[in-house]
Amino acid sequence: MNEGFLNPEKIIRNIPLRSNMNACDLGCGSGGWVIPLAKILNEGTVYAVDILEEVLSALESKILSEGISNIKTIRGDVEGDLRIREEYFDLVLITNLLFQIDNKIKILELAKKLINTNGMILIVDWKKDAPMGSKEGRLNLSEVKEMGEKIGLKVESEFIAGSFHWGIIFKKA
């Protein structure tokens, strides 16, 4: 894999995970993060949430072909009324999604509601100056830290997630 691009498996290995954790990937797409995560959290459950039926269908095919049984797909709008169990998850992922969301605070608040007391929120998104991808809606890391702190999150760690992405892990303050 091109080192400049995201390597979800490598990033996930740097998060303190236990096999019995439950995770939720908001805006999961076709499962680039969900599948490697489900293999690590083999005693837990990974919820894959996306608004697009086609990507969830593609993900379900991958899940079947790889024989993975601990992923639940949910069709839902992360910017709308998403009915999902609150204070349940050990990890919530928001990867390559924040730049696409109009109300960025709202999705951070949703993630905060979803994590349990010791839960983590992993956000990975495009660097503002990355030479590719849509430039619209991008934030730099300091803007996201400020938003998180404003709603009662604290920074657990921050990192470079590839040549074109930054990453941050929040916990409840």
Decide the pairing of beta strands 23-26 and 89-95: parallel
Contact 36, 8 (CB under 8 A): yes
| C-alpha pair distances (Å), 54 with each of 33, 69, 73, 126, 137 | 17, 20, 12, 24, 24
Query: What pTM was estimated for this model as a whole?
Result: 0.95
- The encoded tokens of residue 4 equal 């400049």
Interval 67-117: pLDDT, tens = 999 999 999 999 988 889 999 999 999 999 999 999 999 999 999 999 999
pLDDT band at 3 (very low <50, low <70, confident <90, very high): very low
| pLDDT confidence bin for 1, thresholds 50/70/90 | very low
Q: Which domains does the chain have, with CATH numbers?
A: 8-172 (3.40.50.150)
Question: What is the three-class DSSP state of 28?
Answer: coil
